[in-house]
Structure 1
Amino acid sequence: MTDETGEPAGGNPSEPTADTDANDVEETTNSFSLASFYDICETQGRPILTAGTVATALGTSHEAANAALDRLADDGDVTRLSVEADPVVWYPSELDDPRARERVVIFPKRREIVVDQPQQFTRAQLSQFAHLAETTGDGGYRYVVRPEDVWQAPHDTLDGLRRTIRQALGERNDTLEDWIESQWDRARQFRLTTHPDGYTVLEAQSPEIMGNVARPLLDEEQVHAPISETEDWVREGSEAAIKRELYEAGYPVQDDRELDGGDPLDLELTVSLRDYQRTWVERFDDQGAGVLVGPPGSGKTVAAMGAMERVGGETLVLVPSRDLARQWADALAADTTLDPAQIGQYHGGQKEIRPVTIATYQIAGMDRHRSLFDDREWGLTIFDEVHHVPSDVYRRATHLQSRYRLGLSASPIREDERQAEIFTLVGPPIGTDWDALFDAGFVAEPELEIRYVPWADEAGNAHAAADGRERYRIAAENPAKIHEVRTLLAAHPSGQALIFVEYLDQGRELSDALSIPFLSGETPHHERQRLLEAFRAGERQQLIVSRVGDEGLDLPTADLAIIASGLGGSRRQGTQRAGRTMRPAGGALVYVLATRGSREEDFARRQLQHLGRKGISVREHTVDRPDEADSAEESGA
C-alpha cells in the first residue's frame, strides 16, 4: 500500500520483491548521479527528495530509485534522514556542513546578488532569473537581475519563479521580489497573434497599455489601423520592427502567431546530448525561439541538431561563410540520420534548395534569391554566429518566417551595444554558466596570459612619429613579436599551436620567419581544407591564421593559441580566439602579445576582461628586452 507520492504507507522501504526487475535496479543505480539528483531537486523546487519522487521523475520502480539513492549515500554525496512525515528523505551531504553553505548578500536597490563559493545547484537556480556579471579568483560570484532575465525566466507561473528565487537566496526579499513581479507583468502585456483571416494582430492586455505605450510608438509603416481598443492590424513584414520597438520600451512581445511549419522532416541524432544540451533543447522547445549561448567547444551545433530533431520540420540554416556551410553539411551527414541528398547548400559555390538548406546570410538577404526561401515553408530557422544579425546586411535574412527560430553564439555581445536586437529578431538567450561546464569537465578552462612585448628600436621610432590608426598598426606589427612567438613555440615543442594575426603583411612575415603556413582569406578553399585537415590529424603542428579564422571557419582546437595582433577588435573576437583551446582534455594556454607602451596594453585588458568575468583566470607578464635578459643572466639574477 502506498500514498499518493508512491511512498510506502508506513515503516521502512521494503526490500526488492521477486517481481522487481533486477536489470531496472542495476541500470538506474549505475546511471543515477548527484547531478541527476540536483536535476530532480530543481524540478521539484526543493533540495530534499523521497525515493518515490525520484522513481516518478525517472519513470522507474521505487526499489530501483531506493537502490540508486543508497549508492549515492554510500558514496557520501547524499544523506539519509528518517522523519515522521516521510519514512526516509534524502538531501545533499554538503548541506550538513555549515562551512560549505554559500554566503549570499543581496543588494535589492541595485538588483545585485553576491554569492561566496556557490554550489552548482545554487548557480543553476540563480541562472533562471539573474545574469552572471563576473566572478573572482577566490570564488565570488556577482549576479545582476536585469529585466530581460525576468522576461525569459523558464517558469509558467510567478509562484514558481518566486520559489526558485527564495530557494537560491535562502530568504525572502520583498523589494527584489516586487520589482521582479513588475517585470513579469510587463512581459505579458503584448502578444502577436494570427487573425482567422490570416493577417497578424498586435494584442494588448488593456486599452490603457495599448493607448499609452504601443500606439504612441508605432506608426503607419508598422500597423494599418486599430481593430478594437486592445487590437491593431499589423502590416505584413513589420512584426520584427514592432517587437524591437516595444522591447526597447521595456515591453517584450510574446509571439503566438500560427506560422506554417512546413513539410515534416524525419531525422534522429546519432550522438548523445549532454545533460545541459538537453536542457537547452527543452527550453527552446518550450519557448519556440531562443539563442543558445555557450563557450566554444560546448556543443551548440549538436544541440541545434537536437532542436531540429525535436521540431521535425524542414530547416533553413544561415551562416556567415561558405566554409561554415560546408562544415554544417558535413556535421549533419555525420551526426544525424539525414541522407546527404536531403542536405543542400546555397551560396556562391553551389545553389541547392533541399529539406535542410544551409545558406549564407548575404545570399538569403538578396532580393533576387530571397523569393526562393520565402516560397518554402520552414519549420525551423537556425542563425549561426547570431551576433551578426543586427547589422544592416545580415538582418534582412531575419525577415524570413518560420515557426521556430534558433540562434547560436559563443558571445552575443556587440561593441555597438545592439545585442538587444538579437533577442528581438531571433529569441531570448538560453545558456549555461561557463563555470558549470568547466567544473563538469565538458569544456576546459584555458590559462590566459597577456605578455607585454618591448619595442624593436626601429618600430618604436616609427610609432613615435606616427599618429592615429597608423600608430595602432605599427604596434600590432612590432617585429619584436616574431622573436616572442618563436620563444613561446620553443617553450611548447610538443603542442599544436594556432597563431592569430590581424594584418596580412604580418602573417606573411611570421610565415617566412618561422616556416609556418599562413591561412587567410586569400588562401584557396582547397588549400585551406588541406591545411586544416592536416592540423586536425596531427600531421601539422602549427598554423598562422588571419581574421578569417575568428568565425568564418570551424578551426580545430589547439593546445596553444598565440594572439600576435588584433587587440583592437571586439570582446567577441577575444572569446572566439581563446575558445580555440577550450576542450575537455585541459592544459591549454592562450598568450596575448601586446606592445609595451602602446594602446595595445589597454586593448588587451579590455578584451580579456570579458573572459575574466566568465570565470577564466587572466595573468600578466612583462617580457624583457633581449639585452635586458642577457644582462640579468650575466649578473646571476
Structure 2
Amino acid sequence: MTEDDAGDGDGPSDASSNDAPPKYESGEPTTEDEAVSTETAEDETPTTAVDASGTPATVAVEDVTVADFYGALEAEGRPVVTAQQAARRLGLSQATASEALDALAADGPLQRVDVSTDPVVYYPSEWGRLADRERIVLFPERREIVVDQPTQYTRARLAQFAHLVDSTGDRNAGTRGYLYKIRQEDVWQAPFEDLDALLSMMRSVLPRRSPHLETWVENQWKRANQFRLYTHEDDYVVLEGASESLMGNVARQKLDEEHLVAPISDTESWVRDGKEAHIKRILYEAGYPVKDNRDLESGAPLDVELRVELRDYQRDWVDRFIDQKAGVLVGPPGAGKTVTGIGVLAAVGGETLVLVPSRELAAQWREEILRHTSLTEDQIGEYHGGEKRVRPVTIATYQTAGMDRHRSLFDDREWGLIVYDEVHHVPSRIYRRSADLQAKHRLGLSATPIREDDKEREIFTLIGPPIGTDWSKLFEAGYVQEPEVEIRYVPWADDTARNEWASADGRERHQLASMNPQKIAETRRLLRQHPESKALVFVDYLDQGEAMAEALDVPFVSGEMRHRHRERLFRQFRDGERRTLVISRVGDEGIDLPNAELAVVASGLGGSRRQGAQRAGRTMRPAGGALVYVLATRGTSEEDFAQRQMRHLAEKGVRVTESDLTT
C-alpha cells in the first residue's frame, strides 16, 4: 500500500499524477523564428585540393598529416569520420584517403574501429587519453549540449540557461554523460538582467560560439518582451503588443471577447476584468510570454517591523521582487526562502495571504512570522481543517482556500501580497484557481519548481519570473552545505525475493524492488557508520515503513498518524530527543527539520526529480556534514528512477556519485 497523506484534507492531492515519468521533447520546434536558420553554410563546404587549372590535385598518401585529419574532423563537425567523409573534406579519392588514414592509424596518432555493418571510422588516439576529462560538444541546430565528465563549475553554469534532459553511463567507470537542451522557456526564465549577460554566460561554458544558436536565443529573448499588461490612467488593464502585426495576427487571433473588451488602438486592447491569468496562459502557449507592468494593489496597510538581519543575497531577492512586483523565489533548501518571504511581507506593507500545502507548514509560518517581525498573535490567523481565522496576515492551505464555500473570504479581502509556498503545486487542478488573484503582488517560493508533467512553465506564467541565485555561489560562501549524494545499488536479500520480483510485472514488480528487504540491512549499516548523525529514512510504502521502523526500533511517521502525534515527533527530532525517524511522503516538503545530517532514501515513487531534491534538501543547512544515500535494487527499474530522482540536484551542480554493492 502506498502512502496516502490526504488524511487531514489539506495535503497535496496530485502527487501521483505529478510523479509520472517525464515526457521528452521530440522533433524540431515549428515557430517562425526557429524555421529560419541564420547560420552560414561555411562548415558544409568541402575543402577540395585543386591546382591552378581547377583540376583536383594529386596528393600522396604520405602527404596527409594528423593536422589535415583534425581539419577534416572540424569541417565535418563530428568526433569520428569515415574514409569517405575524410576524402570529401581533403579532396582525395576514397581509396587514397582510406590508405592514408590506415597509415596514420598504424603509426599511432589515429585509431580505427570497424563498426559492424557501417564503414570503418577513424578518430584521434588522443580521444582515448581524454576519457577521464570533461568534454563539451555543442549541437546548435538541435540546441543540445552533451557533456562527458562535467565539472561542478560547468553544471552550475549550464543550469542557468539549459535543461538537463538525461544522464547516462557509469560515473565510476568514467563514462557518465549529461544531455542538456536549451528550450524557449529556459531563455525566457534565465536569471539575467539583459541579453548580453545571458550570451556572456553561454560563451563562458560552451566550447565554441554558434551564430545560429545565439541568433535563436536572441529571438526568444525578444519574444518575451512582445506583449505587456499595464494599468490605464482610468484604472483598467490594457494588453499592448509591440507592433500592429503582433496584436492583430497573434493576440486578437488567440483571444476573443471573453478576454478582451474592445480595441483601443492598433496595438492595444482593453482587458476584461479578471482575465489576466487566462491571457497570460494563452499567449505563453503561443510562444509569447507576457510582461506584467500593471500597478498592483497594495491592499489594506499593515505596519510591520522586520526583526531579522537579512543576508546580502536575501536583501537582493527582496529588492528584485519589489522592483518587478511578482516572481518566484528559487533557491536551495536551507537558503532562507521563508525568511526572505517575510522580508517581502514587511517591504510590501500590506495585508498578506500565505498559501501552503499542509497544516504543518501553516504552523511553521506562524512561528516564523512571530519570531522575525513585530506582528502579534491576534494579527495572524490560520485557515485550514483545524482552524479558521482570517486576520491581516492569514496562512491558509491551498485545498481549503480553493473550496467554493471558503473562496469568497479570500477573493473579497484587499490583500496586498499573496505568498505561494511550495509554488510547484500551482499548475495542478486543485491549486491553480488561487493563481487567478492576478491583481495582487505574487511571490512564489520553491527549491524545486519542476514537475514531471512538464507544466512547470505555468508556474512562471501565472506567478511571475524566477528570482534566485546560483546554487554553487551559496555552497561556496558557506550559506548552505552542499550535500554528498551517493546512489547505492544493492543486491537482492535472497533468491526468494528476487524470484518473486521476476515473476511479477508492472506496478507490482516496481513495488517489490522498492521493498527489497536488503535495504533494511543496508540502512542499518549506514546508521551504524554514522552513529552521531541525526537521520531521516524516507520510504514511499506503508508496509516498508512499518518494517523498517520495527527493524530499527524507531517511530514511523506517515499521513495515517494523527497530526498532533506527528508534530510531537518532529519537535522531539528538532530538540535532539530522537536521532532517527522513518518518514513517508509527509516529510518530503516544507517540514522544518533543520538539523538532519543524514538522509537515506529507501524508496521513491516514479523517480520524481522534485521528490529527490526535496528529500536531499532535508540535510542542506549552513553547518555540518550533509550526507544523502539513495538505495536502488540492482538490475531493476529502480536504477533509472534513482538516477532520475537526483537529476535536479545534478543540474544545479551537486555531485552525485554511484557505488555497486553487488560486486
Q: TM-score range by the shorter chain?
A: 0.7 to 0.9
**Mapping of residues 251-290 of structure 1, within 5 Å:** 251-290=288-327
- Residues 294-443 of structure 1 correspond to what in structure 2 (within 5 A)? 294-443=331-480
Question: 1:218 & 1:572 partners in 2: Cα distance?
Answer: 34
Aligned mates of 1:254, 1:622 — CA distance in 2? 49
Q: Show the counterpart of 1:462.
A: 500
Task: Report matched runs for 1:472-487 at 5 Å.
Answer: 472-487=510-525
Q: Deviations over 1:118-176 (max 9, x none)?
A: 999x999x7997347599999x9998765445545677776787888889999998656
* Matched position secondary structure for 1:469: helix
Q: Distance in 2 between matches of 1:614 and 1:162?
A: 19
1:528 is aligned, of 560, 566, 573, to 566
- Pick one of 593, 597, 602 that aligns with 1:559: 597
1:206/1:282 Cα in 2 relative to 1: closer, same or farther (>3 Å)? same
- CA change 1:510–1:128 in 2 (3 A) is closer
Aligned partner of 1:517 among 542, 555, 562: 555
Output the aligned Cα RMSD: 3.4
Q: Distance in 2 between matches of 1:520 and 1:295?
A: 25
Amino acid paired to 1:587 = G
Q: Is the 8 A contact 1:608 1:618 kept in 2?
A: yes
CA distance in 2 between counterparts of 1:175 and 1:520 reads 52
1:572 aligns with: 610
3-state SS, counterpart of residue 440 of structure 2: strand
Q: How does 1:192-271 map to 2 (within 5 A)?
A: 192-271=229-308
Equivalent in the alignment of 1:20:
none
Question: Which range is displaced more, 425-434 or 603-612?
Answer: 603-612
Q: Structure 1 residues 484 and 168, CA, compared in 2 at 3 Å: closer, same or farther?
A: closer
Q: CA deviation at 1:199?
A: 3.6
- Pick from 501, 505, 518 the counterpart of residue 539 of structure 2: 501
| Residue-by-residue CA offset, 1:328-372 (whole Å, 9 max, x unaligned) | 000111112222221111111111111111111111111111111
State the Cα distance separating 1:260 from its structure 2 match. 2.2
Q: Which residue of 1 aligns with 2:108?
A: none
Q: Indicate if the aligned counterparts of 1:261 and 1:378 stay in contact, CA closer than 8 A.
A: yes
Q: Which secondary structure does the structure 1 equivalent of 2:258 belong to? A: coil
Give distance in 2, aligned partners of 1:600 and 1:198: 56
d(CA) in 2 for partners of 1:108, 1:161: 16
Equivalent residue number for residue 642 of structure 2: 604
Q: Distance in 1 between matches of 2:560 and 2:453?
A: 29
Inter-CA distance 132–218: structure 2 relative to 1 (3 Å threshold)? closer
What is the deviation of 1:275? 1.8
Q: Contact 2:298–2:349 (CA<8 Å) still a contact in 1?
A: no
- Structure 2 letter corresponding to 1:200: V
Amino acid in structure 1 at the alignment position of 2:332: P
Instruction: Write the distance in 1 (CA, Å) between the matches of 2:558 and 2:310.
Output: 34
Q: Shift of the alpha carbon at 1:483?
A: 1.5
Equivalent residues of 2:422, 2:445 under 8 A apart? yes
User: Contact 2:155–2:652 (CA<8 Å) still a contact in 1?
Assistant: no
Question: How far is the alpha carbon of 1:228 from its aligned partner?
Answer: 3.3
Deviations 1:516-573 (A, max 9, x none): 0011112222211221111111111100100100015333341111111115241000
CA contact (8 A) 1:535 1:556 kept: no
How far apart, in 2, do the equivalents of 1:328 and 1:290 lie? 20
Q: Structure 2 matches for 1:42-57, cutoff 5 A?
A: none
Deviation of 1:226 after TM superposition, in Å, equals 3.1
Task: Give the corresponding residue for 2:94.
Answer: none
Q: What is the one-letter code of the residue matched to 2:509?
A: R
Residue number in structure 1 paired with 2:35: none
Higher relative contact order (CA closer than 8 Å, sequence separation 6+): 2
Q: Give the equivalent residue in structure 1 for 2:117.
A: none
Cα drift, residue 408 of structure 1: 0.7
Distance 1:303 1:104, change over 3 A: farther
Q: What's the counterpart of residue 330 of structure 2?
A: 293
CA distance in 2, matches of 1:118, 1:452: 24
| Paired amino acid for 1:611 | L
Post-superposition shift, 1:504?
1.0
* Distance across 1 between alignment mates of 2:180 and 2:319: 24
1:489 aligns with 2:489: no
Q: Name the CA shift for 1:243/1:264 in 2 (closer, same or farther; >3 Å).
A: same
The one-letter code sitting in structure 2 at the alignment partner of 1:616 is: V
Q: Which moved more, 1:232-241 or 1:461-470?
A: 232-241
2 CA distance for matches of 1:307 and 1:113?
Answer: 37
Aligned to 1:72: none
CA–CA distance in structure 2, aligned partners of residues 468 and 106 of structure 1 = 38
Q: Distance in 2 between matches of 1:617 and 1:481?
A: 23
Say yes or no: does 1:614 pair with 2:649: no
**1:257 Cα deviation from its structure 2 partner:** 2.5
Whether contact under 8 Å (1:314, 1:356) holds in the other structure is yes
Structure 2 unmatched runs, 5+: 1-133
1:395 & 1:383 partners in 2: Cα distance? 11
The 2-side partners of 1:245 and 1:166 are apart by 33
After superposition, the Cα gap between the structure-2 partners of 1:507 and 1:202, relative to the gap in structure 1 and judged at 3 Å, is: same
Most deviating of 149-158 and 470-479: 149-158
Match of 1:584 in 2: 622
Structure 1 residue 458: deviation in Å? Answer: 2.8
The answer for the alignment partner of 2:161 in structure 1 is 130
User: Which residue matches 1:42?
Assistant: none
Q: Which amino acid in structure 2 is aligned with residue 190 of structure 1?
A: F
CA distance in 1, matches of 2:553, 2:529: 17
Tell me which residue corresponds to 1:595.
633
- 1:600 deviates by 0.9
Deviation at 1:621, TM superposition (A): 2.1
Question: Residue type matched to 1:610 in 2?
Answer: H
- Contact 2:510 / 2:637 at 8 angstroms: preserved in 1? yes
**1:38-95: CA deviations, max 9, x gaps?**
xxxxxxxxxxxxxxxxxxxxxxxxxxxxxxxxxxxxxxxxxxxxxxxxxxxxxxxxxx
Cα distance change on mapping 1:574 and 1:167 into 2, 3 Å: closer
Partner SS, residue 378 of structure 1: coil
User: Per-residue deviation at 1:471?
Assistant: 0.9
Q: Which moved more, 1:317-326 or 1:155-164?
A: 155-164
Q: 2:201 and 2:498 mapped to 1: Cα distance?
A: 57
Instruction: Give the residue type in structure 2 aligned to 1:532.
Output: F
* Contact 2:163/2:186, CA 8 A, preserved across alignment: no
Change (3 A) 1:466 1:281: same
Contact kept? 1:127, 1:433, Cα under 8 Å: no
Query: How many Å separate the matches in 1 of 2:138 and 2:307?
Result: 45
TM-score by length of 2: 0.71
Shift of 1:584: 2.2
